[in-house]
Structure formats: structure tokens, C-alpha cells
Structure 1
Amino acid sequence: MGRRKRKKKSKFSLGILLIIIIPISIALFARDDQPSIKGEAAIVIDGETGRIIYSKNIHEKMYPASTTKLMTAILLEENKSPEDILVYSKNAEFQEPRKLSLPVGTKISAENSMDALLIYSANDIAYMIGENISGSNDEFVKLMNEKAREMNLKDTHFENPSGLPNDNHYSTAYDLALIAKKAYDYPWLMEAINKESSYIKTENKEIDFVIDNTNVLLNRNGCVGGKTGYTDGAGKCLVAFYERGGRKRIGVVLKSKDDITVFEDMEKIIDWSYNPVGKFLKKIWSL
């Protein structure tokens, strides 16, 4: 009887040990088995919980380029309705391309403005949105930074609504992931970012044209949206939203080297993020 009791105790102890060791081993192995990417910083988080799944230099301050426009879009949805009319300003006209280059005084719907901001990444429309909400670019930038503080973005500071170069305009992969997670609360924004193209027309319909989405991953392998970005200092940047099997993922890649590589970087970390444990088991079984 004594031997049987000791044997049961041994099995029980071994079971507890395995329960503790296996998850730790999987987590450590998965972390070491992260895919290598060219981007200088990157992150994948769970779109529901915010749990970090993949990370590379996630708290390093970097230039966000046009991924900035996600914050501008959040404030547009908070302050305007799709049917509201915005007026194109002189200051908007002066912005660097990429832009729509509308005549000063042109009236355009907020819905079309959201599309031009997120789909086409128009810098002039970002400034137009800011001025129509706050009266001036300076006041809108204050609103952007107030929202950043409200969201507890500790390593983010904005100087303009478009992401054009400025030494004091910066963010991190982690903070941009939090902005993207917040974007899920804004249905108009998410609807716009999911469009492959949009028909833009001014209020009097004297000007009309079609714009195409700059995110080539859209509607491929679960990608439901994304915001591209580029400046010389920022390199190629991308924030992307994924939904597979009912699970949401948000990915950020900053300062990748070219158009092809930034999308490849994103696909690598997203694919890995959906099944890091599976990759661990596959490697174990091959031993």
C-alpha cells in the first residue's frame, strides 16, 4: 500500500511539473522563434485584449509618417458626421503631395474627406479636416495631443495632422498599436479603411474622380484595413488590421526599407502571431 501511495504521489508531482514547464517552454521557444523582418520596429497585439504577441523595438521613438492619419481620422469621427460639409483651405493647398489639390473654397463631404485621408493618404485633406474641426492647424494639433494623453500614449507627440516630417513629431510601434486598437471603436473609420476604392466628388459635383487604397494587403488573408506611411526619415510604415477565425490582430511595422518589404514584414509577423505555439510543436515533432 505504501509503495502505491508513493507512486501516485510521484505521478501527481510529475503532472504538476509538466503543467508548469510546458507552457513556459512553449512561450520561451516561441519568443526565440520570432520571424526576422527588415523593419526597425514592429509589434502585433491582440485586437480585443491588447496582449502583445510579437515585438521588436516597440518603445523606440520613431517618425510615424502618414500612420499619423489614424489619429486625425479618430478626431474626425468624434467631431463630424459623414454628411457634414468641409471647406478646402489655402493652407491645405500649400501642403506637400500626396494630395488631392482641390481649388480653395471647394466644399466636400466629411465622408469623402475620411476616404481621401485613409484610402489615398491625402496630406492636404488632413490639414483641411483639422482646420474645419478646430479653426486652425495649431488648435487641431493641441486636440491630437490631448487625445494622445487621454489614451495614455507616453511616447507620442504630434506636430501636424498628416505625418509630414517634423523633429518633434514622433511615436512608437506600441503607441501606434494602441491608436489602431482604439480605431476599432469607430465604425465610420473602419468602414472607410476597408474600401478598396472610393468615388470622390465635390458638393457641386464639378469635380469627381476615383481614388484607390494604398494598402495592397487589403482583403487578402484576413486583412480588413490598413494605413500606409512614408517619408525619407520614417521609411516605409504600415499599420494593419486583421481578422481570422474570429480573432483580431493589429500589426505595426516602422521604417521598413521599401514598398515590397514593408508588406512582406507585415505578413510574416501576422502569420506567425496567429499560431506561434503551432510553430513550436511543428519544430518539436521534426526533432
Structure 2
Amino acid sequence: MKRIVTFALLFLLICSNNPYGVVHAKEMPPPVSADGAVILDAATGQLLYSKDPDTAYPPASTTKIMTALLTLENTNLNDKVIIGKNPPNVDGTRVGLCEGEQLTVKDLLYGLLLASDNDCAEALAEHIGGTMDKFVAKMNKRAKELGAKNTNFVNPTGLFDENHKTSARDLALMMRALSKHPEYSKIATTISYTIPATNKSPQPREVWNENKLIQKQSTYYYSGCLGGKTGYTVQSFHSYVSTATRNGQQLIVALIHDKNKTFFPDAVALFNFGFNNFTFTKLYQKGALVTTYNKDGLSIPLIAAYDFYYIKAKDDTNVPQVTLKDKNLMFRFFKKGDIVDEASISFEGREIGKLKLASSITHGEKQVLNSNNMQKIIMKNKYLLAVPPIIIILAVVFVLKRRVFSNK
């Protein structure tokens, strides 16, 4: 009997055996002055346009996008910050912080994002990292986590250093992460902010937003702009990163190493190109049938585990293709709604994402044992008929549970 059960177990075990490219539009994109430029869709991470997207350039004060991201991820806006001895002595633009002065994170963020004050950047860096070196290490670590492959930060301000660089694509990825924080857009779309009096400054200090895309009186005002950040040093030239939304679609424009200071009109032109030529399309709604698993006589309707969107040119009539992983579901137990597979979604020859798939039916021990495939196994191996059904059931359950645990 032991030999028969062992053989049955072995037999059943044997039997059970962007990422993203650029989306193309028919309309030609507008010319831009910057050496590196991208339009990135915020929801999918797809590039709609790129010009030398991965060459690293000194980003100047657009660096503060990462400083702001780490601030929002690691602090509360009402946290108190005591200014150390270093921030008041930093080069470049300053709001006028004093050693020992107490401000909130919120006050410093307004100074950082509106007026690009370097003393605010260093104060936040020391508050979060303890030291400048530790904060810079956090910047580089976070950049890598976001997929930034051509970035190396040396400071939280963007002051020029030959080793301090990023690319247009990387800058867009950082803005993508930052714009997910509602506090960012609230701050970045404020025209002016008054930093209240402190223990070291009896007079309030006002900071003004330098981003012309949110200034209604500006020629470059852009309805739907959620914020942006400029950058400039003599060695770095001009850079700019911004994000805007229209009809539920959010785009990010990044421009870096612009010698001609045309980043505001160029950003407007790129936003218009992106919104006019591409559409944010829902391919599958959560719970919608994606495909049906058909193998070995088993049919399992597979549904989307969540909404899946993609970007396409507005006049493109092609349809995305779905490819399932090569999984055998015959001897797996799962309930209705369990994730059982994953689909690779391709569009015009490139992968645009992966989608988790759930079963719309339950497939348990009863279904496995009553399946046509199981009946065929038993009929082909008639000696299994001599094995009590309970033994077969236990053998199947044992094998399946071993496989489940071994895959964890």
C-alpha cells in the first residue's frame, strides 16, 4: 500500500507540472531649447515624448524636488525645526534663517518650493538626515527606488558640483512621486506665503512663487498646472520640471540644460502636445473578464484584479494584446476572487504593463478530483482504482499543499 501511495504522489506531482517605450503620435512634437526633455504620463509612467532623456546634466534647483519629496515622506508639516549653524551660511538664494531659529516644516517647504531658498533646503536636510551627508545618501537611495538610473546627488540645494547630476527622465520620475502628495500641489500652486514671526525674526517674511505657469497674470499661465520648479546656475544653465492635469489625465514635463531660458514657453508647448495627441484609456475595469484559462479540459474565467489604464495616440485604433504566464491551474486550490495568474499587456509590439488576474470561480478539492483530467489519470492507471478514495484525496491534498508552501 505504501508503494502505491508513494507512486500516486509522484505521478500527480509530475503531471502538475518599462519599462515603457515612447508612444508615437502623428503630429510632430514642438522644438525645445533644452538638451534633455521628456513628457511623461504620471499614471502609467510611459514617455509620450523624449529628447536625450537619459543624459545626466547638472539640474540646479530642480534638485529641490527630491528634497521636498523626502520632507513630505519623513515629516509632518507642523513639526518644529531648529536651525543649525550651517544653513544661514549657504550660498545662493536665502530667506534669511538664523542659527537657533524655530520654524515649522511647512514654513520651510514654502520657502523651498516657492522662492527656492537654499537655507530652507539645508535646514530640512539636517532636520531629516541629521547631517548633510546622511540626507544626501537618502536622496540617492530614494532616486534609485524610483527608477532613476542616471542621477547622483551631492547636496539638497542644486548648487553646482560636477558630480551632482540627473537626467530629464529621472527628474520626471521624481516629480511623479512628489505630485502624489496632495500637500505638494497645495504649496506649489500658492502665489505667495507669509512665514510668520519667529523667536529670531520679529518681522514676518513673504516668499513668492517663481513658477509662471501658475500665475494667472502671466503669459505662460497654464490651467491645470499642479506645480513646478525652476533651476539655474551659471554652470548648470536653466532647468524646469512641472506637472499638469486635464480631463483626468496628468502629465509631467521635464526640461534640463536649457541655454536659452525658454523653458516656460517650451513647457506649455509640450503640455499642449501631450494633451492634444494622447488619451488616457481604461482597458479593463476591476472585475471585468480579461481572458479564459483553457488547458487540460479546465476552463477558468480570469478577471482584472484592478482597473488597468494605458496611453495611446488619439487616432490609434490598434488593440492591446494579452499574454498569460504559463501556469498550470489544474491542481491548484483557489477561491473566487483569489489572484491566480498575471497577464502581460502589450501594445504595438511593446509591453505596457502587467495585470494581476483573479479567478471568477472557486476551484477546490472537489473540482480537482472530479475534473476530467483527474479521471483520465485514474483510468490510465487502473491500479489507482484499488487505492481507497480517501488515500487518493489525502495524496492530492498533500502534494498540493507542499507545492503551495514551496512557492512561498
| 1:140 counterpart = 2:142 | no
Going from structure 1 to structure 2, the CA distance change for 1:192 and 1:28 (only over 3 Å counts) comes to: closer
Counterpart amino acid of residue 227 in structure 2: G
Point out the structure with the larger helix share. Answer: 1
Separation in 2 of the partners of 1:177 and 1:163?
A: 16
Partner of 1:37: 32
| 1:206 counterpart = 2:202 | yes
Separation in 2 of the partners of 1:106 and 1:155?
A: 37
Question: Of the candidates 71, 76, 97, which is equivalent to residue 71 of structure 2?
Answer: 76
Does the aligned pair in 2 maintain the 1:229–1:237 contact within 8 Å? yes
1:134-166 residue CA offsets vs partner (Å, 9 max, x unmatched): 111111111111111222211111100011111
Counterpart amino acid of residue 210 in structure 1: E
Partner of 2:303: none
Going from structure 1 to structure 2, the CA distance change for 1:246 and 1:104 (only over 3 Å counts) comes to: same
Q: Give the 3-state SS of the residue equivalent to 1:224 in structure 2.
A: strand
> Residues 188-267 of structure 1: matches in 2 within 5 Å?
188-204=183-199, 206-218=202-214, 220-221=221-222, 222-259=224-261, 261-267=262-268
Partner of 1:111: 106
Separation in 1 of the partners of 2:115 and 2:33?
A: 25
1:46-82 residue CA offsets vs partner (Å, 9 max, x unmatched): 1211111111110111111111111111111122111
Separation in 1 of the partners of 2:41 and 2:84?
A: 39
Answer with 1 or 2: which has the greater Rg: 2
CA RMSD of aligned residues (A): 2.0
| 1:187 counterpart = 2:189 | no
Q: Give the 3-state SS of the residue equivalent to 2:81 in structure 1.
A: strand
1:248-267 residue CA offsets vs partner (Å, 9 max, x unmatched): 110011122344x1111111
Separation in 2 of the partners of 1:50 and 1:280?
A: 18
The size of the alignment, in residue pairs, is 253
Q: Give the 3-state SS of the residue equivalent to 1:217 in structure 2.
A: helix
Counterpart amino acid of residue 206 in structure 1: P
User: Normalized against structure 2, the TM-score is what?
Assistant: 0.59
Separation in 2 of the partners of 1:28 and 1:87?
A: 51
Q: Which runs of 5+ in 2 are unaligned?
A: 1-22, 216-220, 280-312, 316-408
Point out the structure with the larger strand share. Answer: 2
Q: How far has the Cα of 1:217 moved from its partner? A: 1.0
Partner of 2:150: 155
Separation in 1 of the partners of 2:62 and 2:192?
A: 18
Q: Give the 3-state SS of the residue equivalent to 1:239 in structure 2.
A: strand
Q: How far has the Cα of 1:269 moved from its partner? A: 1.1
| 1:268 counterpart = 2:264 | no
Q: Which runs of 5+ in 1 are unaligned?
A: 1-25, 282-287
Going from structure 1 to structure 2, the CA distance change for 1:189 and 1:277 (only over 3 Å counts) comes to: closer
Question: Of the candidates 121, 124, 129, which is equivalent to residue 126 of structure 1?
Answer: 121
Percent identity for Structure 1 against Structure 2: 32
Question: Of the candidates 156, 164, 186, which is equivalent to residue 159 of structure 2?
Answer: 164
Q: How far has the Cα of 1:123 moved from its partner? A: 0.7
Q: How far has the Cα of 1:124 moved from its partner? A: 1.0
Q: How far has the Cα of 1:202 moved from its partner? A: 4.1
Larger RCO, structure (CA 8 Å, separation 6 or more)? 1
Q: Give the 3-state SS of the residue equivalent to 2:86 in structure 1.
A: helix
Going from structure 1 to structure 2, the CA distance change for 1:225 and 1:28 (only over 3 Å counts) comes to: closer
Partner of 1:285: none
User: Normalized against structure 1, the TM-score is what?
Assistant: 0.83
Separation in 2 of the partners of 1:52 and 1:146?
A: 23
Q: Give the 3-state SS of the residue equivalent to 1:60 in structure 2.
A: coil
Q: Give the 3-state SS of the residue equivalent to 1:129 in structure 2.
A: helix
Counterpart amino acid of residue 224 in structure 1: L
Separation in 2 of the partners of 1:98 and 1:203?
A: 20
1:67-124 residue CA offsets vs partner (Å, 9 max, x unmatched): 1111111111122111111122221112112111222111111101111111111111
Separation in 2 of the partners of 1:76 and 1:280?
A: 38
